[in-house]
Amino acid sequence: MNTNTPHPTNTVPSASTVPSASSVASENAKGAAMDPRPVLLDINKLSIEYRTKRGKLKAVHEASLRIRKGESVAIIGESGCGKTTLATSIVHMLPRNATISGGSIGFFPEGKAEIRLEALPEKEMRAVRWNDIVMMFQASQSSFNPVAKIRTQFLDTFQAHNPEISTDDALNRSRELLELVFLNADAVLNSFPHELSGGMKQRTLIALSLLLDPQLVILDEPTTALDLITQKKILNLLNSLRDSCGFSMMFITHDLGIVTQLADRVVTMYAGVVVENAPTADFFSTPLHPYSQGLLRAIPKLNATFEQLYSIPGSTPDLVDKMDGCLFAPRCAHCHARCLTEIPALRQTDNDRWVACHLYEEVTHGAY
Amino acid sequence: MALIELAGLEKSFHNRKTGDTQVLRGIDLAIEEGQTVCVVGESGCGKTTLGKILAGLQGYTGGTYTYRGQEVATLKGKLWKQYRTDVQMIHQNPYESLNPTQMVFDIISAPIKHHRKIRDFAVLYQEVVRLLEMVGLTPVDDFIDKYPVNLSGGQRQRVSIARILCMNPKFIVVDEATSMIDTSLRISLLATLKRIQEELKVAYLYITHDLALGRYFAWGQRLAVMYLGEVIELGPTGDVVEDPHHPYTKAILSAGSIATDNSYDLKGVDIPSFQHIPSGCSLSPRCPEMIPGVCNVVKPPLHTTSPGRCVACHLYAAEGPRTTEGPRSTENLGTTEGQRSTENPRTGQGRNA
Ligand SMILES: Nc1ncnc2c1ncn2[C@@H]1O[C@H](COP(=O)(O)OP(=O)(O)OP(=O)(O)O)[C@@H](O)[C@H]1O
Ligand SMILES: Nc1ncnc2c1ncn2[C@@H]1O[C@H](COP(=O)(O)OP(=O)(O)OP(=O)(O)O)[C@@H](O)[C@H]1O
Ligand code: SF4
Ligand code: SF4
Ligand SMILES: [Mg+2]
Ligand SMILES: [Mg+2]
């Protein structure tokens, strides 16, 4: 999995290697001119909290990101840093003890006015879900009904959103999609979810997510159970479908090899905060945030010696505590006085990239 | 006596409509105390099924499986209980394997109470805290009274790992158990598992599709490659990764390598299926080195090519690949040209061994 990744820099660049202030016009802080594609999803300073016994757990804190039409955005970051929470809020499927405590989620479907998803009544959300935005959950289990055959689940999904379609047409389309993900369509359609292997379930979900030609597909760890050959085929398939159907994609993964093959842009989160947002190639060649640097350094390689194996020292901060300063500070080799008192904002460093770290203050332009 | 020994292990699933489907087709494997075998293979090839059988969670339908010399299917009473304690599995999907009605504390403490007979609450609490810290679930207070639904994917995987470690098993099947965890934490968890292996002589069956991780975890140990329900290559991890023999192994290594210049690809039209297993070699419809008239007719046996290393492929037959009547074109000999000759140095070595 991770082995497809181009060599990230193995040494943590010091503050002196930060990118030079570029010639970007600073009025262009939001980067609108850099990518001509229209924005499809605009998440702005979104905060999400869970009510827990110990108090409010800030799972997502003032997160901002944008997805353009046809763009593929990867969300990466430590286990438990809020990736699933962020993605789930888009389709209104957060657990009951969660609240959106601030910010907005703007959705701009083609030819229609902006829809503010965070405030959308559930009834209207139901029309958006599946037809416009599809989310496939981590580990597939919550997306399948364990006592219904796959065939029934495809037909139900189809007919709930497309009542005029005939069973034959619906089945044919389902078969077509299942074969696209290299499954034996008839065998899968006649199986119950528990009769499929982990990777077969994941591929079935990918097929299901494409059933209704959505505009935005959100995939939470879509390929954790796929061998490299199958994975490569699926990634090629997703890329070519994205070209031909023009949908946008947001996917969450720990597999940085997939990021290089599938994402146009990488958003790194740490402890609920977006700490870096960069085009994929730039991210892997010069990760800016010290956390991103550590994450890339920890990728094992097929030809490396084991002495080179690295993991970031320290542990995840408490998300219930009040924060005053950079959340990565206790684990950061570059931590300085300011980091302990002032939360770094996500600021633009270069044409199309942003970072939230005090090291880059002099070279940044506007805030995100 | 090996801790675990499989000979010709088979598993069929029965379905009223389609009849029996055999998904494990004769697996031979022995694992000694304190050893690791890393298993890789195509999605759906039978890895989890093999793991579940080894962990005693599923029965087998053919062949033999002995644990410390005893046939597992015949274990009863105390011996069965001991076996079920000794052998554990960390499941691929933590969303299915954790009891949703139990808090993290209960999930981890129940087996400690049961297997280690610890009753004192303070001791129990200490032990749970130690295990949670070991898998990086800190601050511990934040997790100890949470239910699985309140945990992220990777946090559930870590609870699964902690739960197994507290039972002091002898053999653990680790099925893609770190797939939902970030790269940094993954390395430290695997290091923990390796340390436990050294301290307690635990044996592992480590199922993964991440060859770089597998190479690290099973370094100095063995790597098995599965295809359609069979082990098609087995050998020391470093040797298999550096010099793969089987065309399928070459293809997965090529898919995982950074270099893209000389990629080794399978012919990709066919969807392998247990319902239609190809005649001869199972890989023959997709194999770039397929020898017509041989590979699609005769099933290749496991050839030993050097001590401890074997591969199921006609290219490695001691007497050289069997040839067909007509002259074979040489254009698809590709990278293994040398191995095609009758003077195969590797197979020669194997015969002496
Ligand atoms: N229902 C809930 N109640 C309380 N806390 C929760 C709940 N769901 C998630 N959390 C906590 O919120 C944080 C963010 O969880 P989330 O599932 O978004 O993480 P993630 O980034 O997707 O992690 P992973 O990569 O491990 O899946 C975690 O610390 C988790 O423990
Ligand atoms: N309970 C079951 N009933 C019927 N068929 C099953 C059952 N469990 C597994 N299978 C079939 O057995 C085959 C092997 O499945 P298994 O889960 O062992 O694969 P795997 O190698 O672990 O794959 P993955 O890497 O995708 O997890 C698959 O074809 C699957 O459909
Ligand atoms: S703000 Fe300071 S502590 Fe935080 S990542 Fe940057 S240098 Fe490190
Ligand atoms: S036996 Fe023939 S078809 Fe099978 S892997 Fe070897 S060369 Fe390919
Ligand atoms: Mg998640
Ligand atoms: Mg599996």
Provide the CATH number for the domain around residue B128. 3.40.50.300
What is the reported pLDDT for A157?
87
B77 shares its domain with B176: yes
Q: Which ligand is nearest to the CA of A334?
A: 3
Same domain, B279 and B306: yes
Ligand 3 atom nearest to CA at A327:
4
Please answer yes or no on whether A179 and B271 come within 8 Å at the CB atom: yes
Same domain, B265 and B124: no
Q: Is A275 in the pocket of ligand 3 (CB under 6 A)?
A: no
| ipTM confidence score | 0.82
The architecture that CATH gives domain A1-8+39-120+216-230+242-312+346-368 is: 3-Layer(aba) Sandwich (3.40)
Query: E strands, chain B, where?
Result: 4-15, 19-31, 36-41, 62-67, 70-71, 87-90, 171-175, 203-207, 222-227, 230-236, 303-306, 309-311
Cα–Cα distance for residue pair B13/A189, rounded to 1 Å: 17
User: Does residue B233 lie within any of the structural domains?
Assistant: no
In a domain, B141, yes or no: yes
Please check whether residue B136 touches A, CB under 8 A.
yes
Write down the pLDDT at residue B320. Answer: 64
Residue B162 forms part of a structural domain: yes
Mean pLDDT estimate for chain B:
86
Question: Residue A317's pLDDT is what?
Answer: 86
Sheet containing B87-90: order of strands: B87-90, B171-175, B203-207, B36-41, B222-227, B230-236, B309-311, B303-306
Per DSSP, the three-state class of A248 is strand
B251 and B341, same domain (yes or no): yes
Put simply, the answer to whether B43 touches A95 (Cβ < 8 Å) is: no
Ramachandran assignment for A367, one of left (phi > 0), alpha (psi -120 to 50 degrees), beta (any other): beta
Residues B100 and B132 in one domain: yes
Once rounded to an integer, what is the mean pLDDT over residues B213-241? 95
Output the CA A31–ligand 1 centroid distance in Å: 31
Residues B182 and B250 in one domain: no
At residue B341 the predicted structure's pLDDT band, cuts being 50, 70 and 90, is: very low
Residues B156 and B39 in one domain: yes
Among A31-40, A308-317, B78-87, B223-232, the range scoring the smallest mean pLDDT is A31-40
Please indicate, yes or no, whether residues B219 and B250 belong to a single structural domain of this protein.
Answer: no
Considering only residues B152 and A74, tell me which one the structure prediction assigns the higher pLDDT: A74
Mutation to probe ligand 4, out of B245, B249, B290 (largest number of atoms < 8 A from CB): B290
- Count of structural domains within chain B: 2
**Cβ of residue A236 closer than 8 Å to a chain B Cβ:** no
Position B230 in a domain:
no
pLDDT tens string B312-330: 999 998 776 655 443 333 3
Q: Which residue has the tokens 């012919």?
A: B267
Q: What percent of chain B has pLDDT over 90?
A: 60
Q: Does A96 touch chain B (CB under 8 A)?
A: no
Nearest to A257 by CA among B40, B237, B94, B183: B183
Angstrom distances, CA of residue A75 to CA of A198, A267, A272 = 22, 5, 12
Q: Which domain holds residue B193?
A: 4-225
Q: In which band, very low, low, confident or very high, does the pLDDT at B335 lie, cut at 50, 70 and 90?
A: very low
Comparing alpha-carbon positions, the chain A residue that sits nearest to B209 is A227
Residue B149 beta carbon below 6 angstroms from any ligand 1 atom: yes
State the residue for tokens 């070991």: B134
Burial of A278-311, coded b for 16+ CB within 10 Å and e otherwise, reads: bbbebbbebbbbbbbbbbbbbbbbbeeeeeebbb
Q: Is B293 in the pocket of ligand 2 (CB under 6 A)?
A: no
- Are B186 and B135 found together in one domain? yes
Q: Which residue has the tokens 């880059």?
A: A360
Please identify among residues 132-171 of chain A the ones whose CB lies closer than 8 Å to any CB of chain B.
138-142
pLDDT computed for residue B261 by the predictor: 65
Higher pLDDT, B299 or B139: B299
d(CA B325, CA B314): 16
**Lateral strand order in the sheet of B62-67:** B19-31, B4-15, B62-67, B70-71
What is the residue-wise DSSP string for A190-208? TS-GGGS-HHHHHHHHHHH
The answer to whether A259 and A280 are in contact (CB under 8 A) is yes
The end-to-end CA distance of chain A, in Å, is 32
Q: What is the pLDDT of residues B259-294, one digit of tens each?
A: 556 788 888 766 788 988 999 999 999 999 999 999
Query: Which phi and psi angles does B24 have, rounded to 5°?
Result: -120, 125
CA–CA gap between residue A290 and residue A288 (Å, rounded): 6
Residue B118: predicted pLDDT:
83
Phi-psi region of A155 (alpha: psi -120 to 50; beta: other; left: phi over 0): alpha
Query: Bigger pLDDT: B139 or A217?
Result: A217
> Does residue B3 carry a pLDDT above 60?
yes
- The Cα–Cα gap between B129 and B109 comes to 10
Residue B130 shares a structural domain with residue B212: yes
Cα B293 off chain centre by: 32
Subunit contact A316:B138, Cβ cutoff 8 A: yes
Do B194 and B262 fall within a single domain? no
Nearest chain A residue to B45 by CA: give it: A197
Q: Is residue B231 part of a domain?
A: no
**A positions 19-38 inside 8 Å of B (CB):** none
Which ranges of B63-179 would DSSP assign to H, the alpha helix? 77-86, 94-97, 104-116, 121-134, 140-144, 153-165
Instruction: State the closest ligand 4 atom to the C-alpha of B284, by its place in the atom list counted from 1.
Output: 3
Residue B270 domain-assigned?
yes
Domain ranges of chain A: 1-8+39-120+216-230+242-312+346-368
Residue A257's nearest CA partner among B192, B244, B260, B155 is: B260
Kindly report the nearest CA distance between residue B82 and chain A, in angstroms: 28
Low-confidence stretches of chain A (pLDDT beneath 50) = 1-33
Type of residue at B102:
Q
| Ligand 1 and B152: CB distance under 6 A | yes
Are B161 and B200 in the same domain? Answer: yes
DSSP secondary structure, B23-42, as one string: EEEEEEEEE-TT-EEEEEE-
B232 within some domain: no
Beta bridge partners of A57: A50
